[in-house]
């Protein structure tokens, strides 16, 4: 017992010293951070050219300041030029987060490697000015930390902030960092504002460096695309063995998070801008979405009714075993152009053959169905999603695998009119989703033959009841109701 206790401080001591030694175990020969300035989504890629200073190094640590971490909704680490991601664990400290990345194989002294750290930030820009008239420009502000932090010393580092156009209004001039600056602390070069190169930066994750040199820098730039936010996405996915069908329905609350419209909206002016092929940058006339191949019965309606001004080109289902398939392309045209500060809520749904996303394991009698978490809306963040997966009635042994953790997950029962005992359901919650999160959840379950039969019986009875009701209905006048529905 006493021996065990005695070993605890020793162990702690070891981990502390190894933590401190970390500072001299690597050297960054070059660090380049590229920030793709966007609207509601900002994509940051940092490449670390690293050199091992000791033998047998297994872990490399990447640092991210607290503010940048708070805006980050996706993190991915790879060796440059490779597809596999590297596993990491995150440690949260007072002013920063540390990501301990496991290297693909231990690195020996003087060996080098290029590591790419990607992070996606959401809600990271602010429209400025906060309002704009219909024919005015849209400009955004973005703030980040000046230095890329690292527990290791860095020979040279720079940060490029890249906009869609070369039109910047202003950028911050760093203060008090002459020690690291060669020619200029910041330069503008076409569509890039570049901080650095900064030379011989010591380990920068320590408090004294942070207090003395780290500072926020803000750039102010024109952005010629609408800033889109899906404030709420409710996706319901219903798996039906009876119809061999999978139905996906999205209830989408879209918001234009650009500058709020100043004055009135003029449709004539909007149309004139359309003729000149130069719509206002903050007005959204239409969206192009990539839906699954082989879909049918696609529907799109809003609070007023069906919206018929959209175009859909359905891609064929890929042959069995094909790696990649094409998307069906939907050009979705909201009922009105979406201006800054405006909302638009609508419902989009479709059916797809179950076999396009399901498979059956005969040995275990298990079905496996791949469920897409979201359909990306280009450039938009999904601030809040509730995903409900409804399984066939009588499904048992339900389990699922998610590509990244949900904020919450609840198993329940979904009861509909035709069901006897209700259907098992899984409800997942997410926040701040982007293109990177457009992945699949794998759900597995069993359905006994008995359940199939029971279901068959229920439907048969229900159909009979409907038949009788329909006979009665034919003699009643439902035209008002129908009209309302059709619009
Ligand atoms: C979502 O993003 C906002 C703004 O970047 C952030 O404040 C919030 O903590 C994020 N929420 C989650 C659950 O990541
Ligand atoms: C790295 O190379 C230098 C000179 O080439 C050598 O002096 C040093 O010992 C090497 N370091 C390691 C850890 O092998
Ligand atoms: C847009 O919707 C949000 C809630 O989702 C609401 O707070 C806001 O007032 C709406 N804006 C307009 C212009 O209706
Ligand atoms: C909407 O349009 C589709 C065909 O485009 C039609 O089948 C459906 O009944 C319509 N729904 C409503 C509510 O009008």
Distance 109 CA to ligand 2 centre (A): 7
Domains and CATH numbers, the chain: 3-222 (2.60.40), 228-451 (2.60.40.1730)
Backbone phi and psi for residue 93, each to the nearest 5 degrees, phi listed first: -115, -175
Number of helices and strands (H, E) in the chain?
6, 30
Average pLDDT over residues 174-191: 93
Percentage of the chain exceeding pLDDT 90 = 63
Distance 126 CA to ligand 3 centre (A): 17
For ligand 3, atom 3: residue with the closest CA: 343
For ligand 3, atom 10: residue with the closest CA: 343
Q: What angle do CA 205, 209, 212 make, to 5 degrees?
A: 145
Length of the chain: 487
Q: Give the pLDDT of residue 259.
A: 93
Report whether 157 contacts 30 (CB < 8 A): yes
Q: Does the CB atom of residue 341 touch ligand 3 within 6 A?
A: yes
Q: What is the pLDDT of residues 40-86, one digit of tens each?
A: 999 999 999 999 999 999 999 999 999 999 999 999 999 999 999 99
DSSP secondary structure of 11-80: HHHHHHHHHHHHHHHEEEEEEEEEEE--SSEEEEEEEEEEEESSSSEEEEEEEEEHHHHHHEEEEEEEET
Residue 485 has pLDDT above 50, yes or no: no
Q: Best substitution site from 306, 348, 482, 487 to test ligand 4's pocket, by max atoms within 8 Å of Cβ?
A: 306
Q: Does the CB atom of residue 85 touch ligand 2 within 6 A?
A: no
Residue 119 has pLDDT above 80, yes or no: yes
Query: What whole-number distance in Å separates Cα of residue 292 and Cα of residue 333?
Result: 19
Q: Does the CB atom of residue 122 touch ligand 1 within 6 A?
A: yes
Residue 446 has pLDDT above 50, yes or no: yes
Q: Starting from the CA of residue 70, give the closest ligand.
A: 1
Q: Give the pLDDT of residue 275.
A: 57
Of all atoms in ligand 3, which is nearest to the CA of residue 342?
13
Q: What is the pLDDT of residues 354-391, one digit of tens each?
A: 888 888 888 888 899 999 999 999 889 999 999 999 99
Distance 71 CA to ligand 1 centre (A): 6
Q: How confident is the model at residue 3 (pLDDT cuts 50, 70, 90)?
A: very low
Q: Could you tell me the pTM of the whole model? A: 0.84
For ligand 2, atom 13: residue with the closest CA: 109
Is the pLDDT higher at 308 or at 306?
A: 306
Distance 298 CA to ligand 4 centre (A): 10
Of all atoms in ligand 3, which is nearest to the CA of residue 232?
5
Q: Does the CB atom of residue 306 touch ligand 4 within 6 A?
A: yes
Q: Best substitution site from 57, 110, 112 to test ligand 2's pocket, by max atoms within 8 Å of Cβ?
A: 110
Q: What is the pLDDT of residues 249-268, one digit of tens each?
A: 999 999 999 999 887 777 77
Distance 433 CA to ligand 1 centre (A): 10
Q: Starting from the CA of residue 299, give the closest ligand.
A: 4
Distance 111 CA to ligand 2 centre (A): 10
- Cα separation values, 141 from 42, 254, 311, Å: 12, 22, 35
Distance 345 CA to ligand 3 centre (A): 11
For ligand 3, atom 7: residue with the closest CA: 343
Report whether 136 contacts 219 (CB < 8 A): no
Distance 303 CA to ligand 4 centre (A): 14
Distance 112 CA to ligand 2 centre (A): 12
Residue with tokens 């024109």: 222
Of all atoms in ligand 3, which is nearest to the CA of residue 341?
13
């Amino acid at each position: 017992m006493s021996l065990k206790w005695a070993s605890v401080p020793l162990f702690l001591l070891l981990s502390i010293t190894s933590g401190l030694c970390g500072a001299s175990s690597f050297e960054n020969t070059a660090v380049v951070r590229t920030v793709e300035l966007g609207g509601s989504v900002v994509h940051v890629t940092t490449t670390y050219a690293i050199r091992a200073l000791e033998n047998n190094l297994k872990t490399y640590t990447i640092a991210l300041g607290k503010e940048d971490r708070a805006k980050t909704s996706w993190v991915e680490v790879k060796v440059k030029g490779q597809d596999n991601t590297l596993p990491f664990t995150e440690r949260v400290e007072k002013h920063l987060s540390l990501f301990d990345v496991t290297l693909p194989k231990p690195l020996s002294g003087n060996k080098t490697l290029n590591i790419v750290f990607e992070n996606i930030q959401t809600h990271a820009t602010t429209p400025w000015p906060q309002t704009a008239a219909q024919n005015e420009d849209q400009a955004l502000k973005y703030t980040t930390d000046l230095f890329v932090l690292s527990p290791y010393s860095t020979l040279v580092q720079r940060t490029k902030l890249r906009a869609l156009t070369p039109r910047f209004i202003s950028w911050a001039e760093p203060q008090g960092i002459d020690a690291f600056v060669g020619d200029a602390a910041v330069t503008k070069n076409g569509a890039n504002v570049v901080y650095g190169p900064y030379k011989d930066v010591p380990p920068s994750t320590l408090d004294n460096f942070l207090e003395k040199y780290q500072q926020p820098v803000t750039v102010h730039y024109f952005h010629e695309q609408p800033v889109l936010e899906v404030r709420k996405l409710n996706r319901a996915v219903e798996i039906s063995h009876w119809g061999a069908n999978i139905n996906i329905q999205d209830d989408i609350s879209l918001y234009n998070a650009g500058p709020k419209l100043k004055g009135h909206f003029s449709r004539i002016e909007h149309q004139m801008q359309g003729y000149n092929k130069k719509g206002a940058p903050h007005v959204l006339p239409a969206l192009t979405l990539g839906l699954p191949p082989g879909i049918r019965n696609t529907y799109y309606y809003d609070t007023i009714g069906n919206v018929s001004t959209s175009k859909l080109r359905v891609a064929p289902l890929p042959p069995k075993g094909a790696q990649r398939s094409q998307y069906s392309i939907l050009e979705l045209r909201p009922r009105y152009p979406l201006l800054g500060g405006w909302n638009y809520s609508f419902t989009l749904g479709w059916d797809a053959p179950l076999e396009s996303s399901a498979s059956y394991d005969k040995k275990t009698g298990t079905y496996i169905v791949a469920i897409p978490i979201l359909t990306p809306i280009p450039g938009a963040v999904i601030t809040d999603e509730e995903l409900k997966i409804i399984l066939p009635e009588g499904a048992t042994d339900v389990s699922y695998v998610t590509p990244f953790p949900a904020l919450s997950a609840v198993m329940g029962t979904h009861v509909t009119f035709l069901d006897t005992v209700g259907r098992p359901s899984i409800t997942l919650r997410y926040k701040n989703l982007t293109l990177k999160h457009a992945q699949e959840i794998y759900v597995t379950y069993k359905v006994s033959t008995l359940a199939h039969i029971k279901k068959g019986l229920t439907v048969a009875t229900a159909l009979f009841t409907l038949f009788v009701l329909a006979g009665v209905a034919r003699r009643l006048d439902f035209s008002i109701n129908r009209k309302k529905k059709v619009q």
